[in-house]
Structure 1
Amino acid sequence: MPFTIPEHTTHNAPSITRDAAWALLEAARAGARDIGIDVAIAVTDAAGHLKAFERSDHAPFLTAEVAIDKAWTAASFGVGTHVWNAILTDPKVAQLAHRPRMVSVGGGCPILDGGQVVGAIGISGGNAQQDQDAAETAIRALGFEVRA
């Protein structure tokens, strides 16, 4: 049986730049400071690979891994970590809750540019809503889109 060679065998995948990742980190730091929380902040590319990271001096050590995993989770499906609790109630996908690195607590947001996921940000150190607010503030400050 013959096969057809596709016209295109690769595609370009947009990704956040290093400079934009660090600018997001700085915007998130300012947002967390305004809220009054000490946090760890992680920014990943669209594939969930770490691009920028920072943990404030007084943020608990566990916040470092949680922030990275929040960003990874948000990048994985382009969905914010704050919506994963609802998703995981579906028995068809409930097993995802047992995946290492999966976080279903607010504070991880995909970063969208023109509707495409180009990265993700994860913040840990406050409560789930504070982390979420700081992440969304940073995304908007740089002109990226927040997925509701």
Structure 2
Amino acid sequence: MNISLKKARIIIRKALEAGAAAEMKPLSVVVVDAGGHVIAFERSDGASPGRFDVALGKAYGCVMLGMTGSAQRDRAEAQAYFVGAMNGLFGGRFVPVPGGVLVRGKDGAVIGAVGVTGDSSENDAVAALAGIDAAGFVGEA
């Protein structure tokens, strides 16, 4: 099972709608496949242009390590050397904080990840989960 472009667009639209409904700051949302490749990205009006890299870093870390953003944060707090080493291996391409959410198919396999940035990391994760749920997938934050 893969995340189609149609489903990625649903994830993004619903995540942005959830953020707006909760009066979050302008969000940016990226959806990646199981290899960390971008399927789709969108940035709300007013979101800073650097948010693409932050959103991608959140999602990329999830798929590369098979860990949620919150699990990466917890691991960084307990074993900073591990996260530092892993980020070095991946060229500094991941951001180990909430807002990176694994996407699982109905069989439980990881099929990609969503990265949301713009508000608090915890709110970013809430918006990501709303989008993932709306697309019919299971999110793990």
Bin the TM-score by the shorter chain: 0.7 to 0.9
* Higher RCO by CA contacts (8 Å cutoff, separation 6 or greater): 2
| Equivalence for 1:49 | 37
- Taking the aligned partners of 2:31 and 2:133, their CA distance within structure 1 comes to 14
Q: Identify unmatched segments of 5+ residues in structure 2.
A: none
Distance of 1:62 and 1:80 partners within structure 2: 22
CA contact (8 A) 1:40 1:124 kept: yes
Deviations 1:49-75 (A, max 9, x none): 000001111012221210111111112
Pair 1:128-2:121 in alignment? yes
Residue type at the aligned position of 2:62: A
Question: Structure 1 length normalisation: TM-score?
Answer: 0.83
In structure 2, what is the Cα distance between the partners aligned to 1:141 and 1:117? 17
Instruction: Report the counterpart of residue 97 of structure 2 in structure 1.
Output: 105
Q: Which residue in the other structure is 2:86 paired with? A: 96
User: Residue 93 of structure 1: CA displacement?
Assistant: 2.2
Rg larger for: 1
Q: Is the contact made by 1:35 and 1:130 (CA closer than 8 Å) also made in structure 2? A: no
Mapped to 2, the partners of 1:61 and 1:103 lie a distance apart of: 16
Map of 1:31 onto structure 2: 18
Residues 61 and 18 of structure 1: CA distance in aligned 2, closer, same or farther (over 3 Å): same
Q: Which residue of 1 aligns with 2:54?
A: 66
Unmatched segments (≥5 aa) in structure 1: 1-13
Matched residues in 2 for 1:145 and 1:16: separation?
Answer: 12
CA distance in 2, matches of 1:139, 1:120: 9
